[in-house]
Amino acid sequence: MRARESYICELCVEQAGPALSEASAEQKLVRIRPRPSRPADRDAAEAAVEEAFESVFGADVAVETRCAAIEGGANLAPSMQEAGERFTGRVGLDVAVEHVRFLSDEEAEVSFVLIFPGGLGPGPMPGIGAGPARFANVGYAVLVEGHWKVARETYCGLVQRIGVQCPPPPD
C-alpha cells in the first residue's frame, strides 16, 4: 500500500504490533480500533471536569474563581465582565455537563449545554420565546498542574459568538 504524507501516532504503532502478529497469513485486512486513554480515577476526573465547567459558566461564581478554572485564564476578567454586561447578566446562565470523553490523560472532550433559565426573550436574540433556552456545545477540558480546567479555546470561542474578544494568553 502507498500513501503520501501519512502519519501514524505512537499509540497506533503500539496497537498495530499485537494486531498484526495475531492475524492469520490469509487475512488481508487488519482493523485496529484505538482505545481511548482513561485517567486512573475516571469518576474523580469527571467530577473535576464538571466542577470546572460549573465554575466557569455557573451563576453567582466570583470572576477570580471563574478565571482560575480556565486554562491560562489569569487575564480573562475583563472579557468575562464584558460578556456578562452584554448578555449573560441580563438573562442568567447555568450549565449542564452531559458527557465527558477522555482523549488522553490530560485532555477531555466535553458535551455541555448552556441554559438560560429565563429564556432570551426580546433581548439580543429576538424571536426566541420565554422559558429556558438551551444551547448544546462541545468543548474541551485540560489537566493543568494536576487540576482540570476549561480549555481557554473553549471559553474564548463561546464569548466570541457574542462579540467579546479574549486577549492573548499570558506568557
The region of weakest confidence among 29-38, 115-124, 161-170 is 115-124
Look at phi and psi of residue 63 and say left if phi exceeds 0, alpha if psi is from -120 to 50, else beta.
alpha
C-alpha–C-alpha distance, residues 164 and 31, integer Å:
45
CATH number at residue 93: 3.10.450.50
How many Cβ atoms from other residues are within 10 Å of residue 143's Cβ?
19
C-alpha–C-alpha distance, residues 104 and 95, integer Å:
24
Q: Residue 127 belongs to what domain range?
A: 38-160
Please indicate, yes or no, if residue 14 is contained in any of the structural domains. Answer: no
C-alpha–C-alpha distance, residues 56 and 1, integer Å:
48
The region of weakest confidence among 10-19, 35-44, 110-119 is 10-19
Segment 139-168 shows an average pLDDT of 96
How many Cβ atoms from other residues are within 10 Å of residue 150's Cβ?
26
pTM score, whole prediction: 0.73
Residue 50 three-state SS: helix
Please indicate, yes or no, if residue 86 is contained in any of the structural domains. Answer: yes
Q: How many domains does the chain have?
A: 1
